[in-house]
Chain A
Amino acid sequence: MNAPLFKFGYFGEETGLIIAFIIGIGFGFFLERAGFGSGRKLAAQFYLYDMTVFKVMFTAIVTAMVGLFWLGVLGVVDLSLVYVSPTYIIPQTIGGLILGVGFVIGGYCPGTSCVGAATGKYDAMIYLLGIIAGILAFGEMFPLLRDFYYATPMGQVTLPQLFGVSYGVIVFLVVLMALGGFAGAEWVEKRLAAKKEAAS
């Protein structure tokens, strides 16, 4: 059996949607168990009191990267079939900044706001309304934004292509970065906790 399962035709679109639904529920469940249904916990990341978001996200990245790399090497996953979204460097950077600002102000990102809303948090529900309003506004304004949206295209680039080094080296460097990041995050948390203790 080869992956990606859908692209090899093991199931059709409808089944794919059902599977996506189940995976989505699982994703939401584990986000909630990690404490990501709370805007306080998420916003604390940006004030560096609580580095859970950083650790969870980077763990997910490293797990997925190492897993895909080795499954690709073993021939289980055909990486050439995994969709890589094309890069438009300037519009995507600005979009990322807008999303980040919204994240700090609202205390949620799109996924976690669904988790928060599902557990009955009013701020998350209002945040969700904001997302829907934003989607509508963006959709209506798209003809005006189109040129910017497609500006500075770089195609479907990956880090190994961009830096001209082998895939394995990138994997190793990202793992090192993550492990260093985790150690640094624990250190920052301990320092801030000690400060708080001293202050109170």
Chain B
Amino acid sequence: MKFTLSSLTLNQKLALVAGLFGFCAIFAGSPYTGSTATINAKELAVMVEKEVDHVTVDELADWIIKGRADYRLIDLRSAKDFDEYHIPGAENIPIASLPDAGLLRNEKIILYSEGGTHSAQAWFLLKALKYKNVYLLRDGLAEWKDRILFPSLAENPSPEEKAAFEKRKEVSKFFGGSPQTRNAASASQLVMPKLPVPSVSAAPTGAPKKKKKEGC
């Protein structure tokens, strides 16, 4: 009997195609190397420009309140600073030990440092090591203190700003901060919230904010 391709049923043809693809797969090498062989400078630049490389403190606070667990929050500061205060859920990995800290390449990793510089540098470091899903906390812990822990109301606030501030107060309380209101006499010193873990008494690390004085 003569064998022709057209004598096969559709299912047999599909099986043949699958078999061929499967057989060739043996010789195709690893599928993991395809897209991650080199740093794509252009791609990185576009990511920075599109601002998809960072999360804001508000987003992060929202995730923590909602109990999301699909990310790892990395504190790049020294162990001493970490012990004094860190954002809830953070892990301490000093920047020098980042490459061999055992982070997985398919995890969502969020980096923060005191300001924005170290985390941005660490971001490029991880990108170069083919970590794709890395983000940095915009403006770092300084912004976290300013906006989440010790939010303050702008001078001459509009009603919208006032409403937003009420929301911020709730968020601030959740994280153990203290919203800075105009008539609060005790606001001259910012006290960092105590960590649940045994730690040295939290020293006020934030720059003391100017008390806002204005007539009512």
Chain A residues within 8 Å of B, Cβ to Cβ: 2, 7-9, 62-63, 66, 68-84, 156, 166-169, 171-172, 174-176, 178-179, 182
B22 touches A174 (CB 8 A): yes
A62 touches B23 (CB 8 A): no
A75 touches B34 (CB 8 A): yes
Nearest CB on A from B132, distance (A): 5
Q: When each residue 35-54 of chain B gets 1 if its CB lies under 8 Å from chain A and 0 otherwise, what string results?
A: 11000000000010010100
With A81-B106, A179-B18 given, is the CB distance from A167 to B132 under 8 Å?
Answer: no
A175 touches B34 (CB 8 A): no
Q: A7 CA to B11 CA in the complex, in Å?
A: 35
- Residues on A with beta carbons closer than 8 Å to the beta carbon of B106: 80-84
- Residues on A with beta carbons closer than 8 Å to the beta carbon of B50: 9
A172 touches B25 (CB 8 A): yes
Interface centre among A7, A73, A182 (most CB of B within 10 A): A73
With A82-B106, A168-B28 given, is the CB distance from A179 to B34 under 8 Å?
Answer: no
B18 touches A80 (CB 8 A): no
Residue B26 lies at the interface, judged by CB distance under 8 Å to chain A? yes
Q: What residue in chain B is nearest A55 (Cβ atoms)?
A: B11
Q: What residue in chain A is nearest B46 (Cβ atoms)?
A: A9
Question: A156's contact among B21, B31, B52, B104, by CB below 8 Å, is which?
Answer: B104
B26 touches A169 (CB 8 A): yes
Q: When each residue 3-36 of chain B gets 1 if its CB lies under 8 Å from chain A and 0 otherwise, what string results?
A: 0000000010001001101110111111110111
Question: B18's contact among A77, A79, A175, by CB below 8 Å, is which?
Answer: A175
Further pairs besides A74-B34, A80-B106: 8, Cβ < 8 Å: A9-B47, A62-B18, A66-B21, A76-B35, A78-B132, A167-B32, A172-B26, A182-B11
A sample of 10 cross-chain residue pairs with beta-carbon separation below 8 angstroms, ordered by A number, consists of A2-B35, A66-B22, A66-B25, A78-B34, A81-B106, A168-B26, A168-B29, A171-B26, A175-B21, A175-B25
B105 touches A171 (CB 8 A): no
Q: What residue in chain B is nearest A78 (Cβ atoms)?
A: B35
Nearest CB on B from A142, distance (A): 14
A80 touches B26 (CB 8 A): no
A75 touches B35 (CB 8 A): yes
B22 touches A176 (CB 8 A): yes
In the A-B complex, the 7 residue pairs with the closest CB atoms: A72-B31, A175-B22, A75-B34, A9-B52, A171-B25, A168-B25, A75-B35
B133 touches A175 (CB 8 A): no
Q: A75 CA to B43 CA in the complex, in Å?
A: 15
Q: What residue in chain B is nearest A160 (Cβ atoms)?
A: B30
A7 touches B26 (CB 8 A): no
Residue B194 lies at the interface, judged by CB distance under 8 Å to chain A? no
- Residues on B with beta carbons closer than 8 Å to the beta carbon of A166: 26, 29-30
- Residues on B with beta carbons closer than 8 Å to the beta carbon of A2: 35
Residue B130 lies at the interface, judged by CB distance under 8 Å to chain A? yes
Instruction: Tell me the B96-124 residues at the A interface (CB within 8 Å).
Output: 104-106
Instruction: Tell me the B108-154 residues at the A interface (CB within 8 Å).
Output: 130, 132-133
B31 touches A69 (CB 8 A): yes
With A7-B133, A9-B52, A84-B106 given, is the CB distance from A79 to B25 under 8 Å?
Answer: no
